[in-house]
Structure 1
Amino acid sequence: MFKVVFTALMLSAVPALAQDAVNITRDIASVTVPLPGGGSAEVSRNQDTTHRLEGDWALTSRPCPSFCIQPMIPAPGVTPIGELELLDLLQDPQVVVADGRIRSQFAEGTIPGAVSIPYLEAADRLDVLGCEVDFDGFDCAVEGLKKVALFCNGPWCGQSPTAARRMIEAGFPAENIYYYRGGMQMWRLFGLTVVPGT
């Protein structure tokens, strides 16, 4: 009798579990972030509990070089961050979230609210972060300088670490740089919202 009652209770609990939301955290179902061109986007997790990564995002063993595992801190002074910190930074008007990948990768899908600053252009686009153009390049010792959160394809992608190092060499302060090492691979692994880059 106990076995029958226990089994019936367990079966009645299954539908409730299947209907539970796939939240970002226990208390956060979604986050609304401003978009660079105006408007906003809602970031949430994919609600399909059977969803899996496919294609290049599911690959684990690419040859090194060029797909070498990147350090957590790409240059001294840079702050590594995770998904929750990035969600906070996406809502901060004093932070630019920069997709350091090449434009075609950005166009295929990016994090809502991110702007395209390809890694080869990062040192030449410091005006976007508040640096002033001068005869030698940029003066970043100015009031109102923004912070930047850089990301690229994932822990094996060297595009945003290269961007960070080039920006620092061009005079941008390392302490104003955040590095989301997980990049698009981890963002997708968590089922977070991806939008076409515009």
Structure 2
Amino acid sequence: MSRARRSFLLSWLLLVAAPCFAEEPDPFPVKITATLPYVDLPRIHQGKDVRLQRNQDIDNVIDFDYSYTSRKCPPFCILPMVLSAGVETIAELEVIDYITRISNNDDSVLLIDSRTDEWLQRGMIPGAVSIPWTSLHHKHTDKKKLLDILEMRFGVVNDDNLLNFQQAKTLIFYCNGNWCGQSPTSIRSLLLLGYPPHKLKWYRDGMQAWAQLGLTTVKPPEVPAPPSEGTQKKLDNPAQEPSP
């Protein structure tokens, strides 16, 4: 057999065999990282398992609620990367690491949604608990309720009105985005009480970035109905939200 004929036959065999060696379709074309398609979180939400992943539809677009680009400033101004000295600003992968710790029964950390009830029905990050900024702000709560949260939720010890933060939890706060003042207000309120800055983490980009990446959200139980158009306008009113 001539060299040319052998070369032609080999090429033909490779062409015919190529489909046999084709890779299987990737069931997770949109991964969290190159090596992490999803994270399974046992009993993370109301005692039920949740798979944290990105939306696998490559044509998916961001939810309408988070599509606004030009909210009035003030009060919805762009926040700095460093909120306060010692308070770490984190992003999605760090948040996912903390959620994984929570799902593995690490009670030394707590992920906190600082938004008011009107926003919760739009979705929360799995593993988060709702503690609105108003619950920690001295103008919107009373001393007893605030101390109850510090002691029962955050692990702070109240010794004759002297707060001991030695065993206090690491708290991760988020709200709607880098224009939203609700989680910064919560963090500043705790700093004024003496909460150690290194135990406070801020997910600056919040729900808008979480939604932009198509990451899993969950609904809290028994939340109010979605606000009407008139209520939505009130939510965008400077009088309704804390200034950053």
Q: Same fold (TM over 0.5)?
A: yes
Q: 2:92 matched to 1:83?
A: yes
- Taking structure 1 as the reference length, the TM-score comes to 0.84
Which residue does 1:26 correspond to in 2?
34
In the TM superposition, residue 20 of structure 1 has moved relative to its aligned partner by 5.8
2:126 equivalent to 1:126: no
Q: Partner amino acid for 1:133? A: N
Q: Aligned equivalents of 1:140 and 1:38: distance in 2? A: 31
Question: Which runs of 5 or more residues in structure 2 are unaligned?
Answer: 1-18, 138-145, 222-244
Q: Which amino acid aligns with 2:79?
A: Q
| Correspondence for 2:109 | 95
Equivalences for residues 82-161 of structure 1 within 5 A: 82-92=91-101, 93=106, 94-122=108-136, 124=146, 125-127=149-151, 128-136=153-161, 139-142=163-166, 144-161=167-184
Do 1:100 and 1:160's aligned partners in 2 also have CA atoms closer than 8 Å? yes
Do 2:45 and 2:126's aligned partners in 1 also have CA atoms closer than 8 Å? no
Structure 1 runs of 4+ with >4 Å offset: 16-20
> May I ask how many residue pairs the two structures share in their alignment?
183
Which residue of 1 is the match for residue 142 of structure 2?
none
> In percent, how many aligned pairs have the same letter?
36
Using the alignment, how far apart are the partners of 2:117 and 2:212 within structure 1?
A: 22
Q: 1:17 to 1:156 in 2, by over 3 A?
A: farther
Who wins on radius of gyration, i.e. which is larger? 2
Partner of residue 8, structure 1 = none
Instruction: Report how far residue 161 of structure 1 moved.
Output: 0.6
The root-mean-square deviation of aligned C-alpha atoms, in Å, is 2.3
TM-superposition CA deviations, 1:16-72 (whole Å, max 9, x none): 889761100000011123526433311100011111113230111111012111112
Tell me the CA shift for residue 122 of structure 1: 2.9
Q: Where does structure 1 lack aligned partners over 5 or more consecutive residues?
A: 1-11
CA distance in 1, matches of 2:202, 2:25: 36
Letter in 2 for 1:197: P
TM-score by length of 2: 0.69
Match of 2:52 in 1: 43
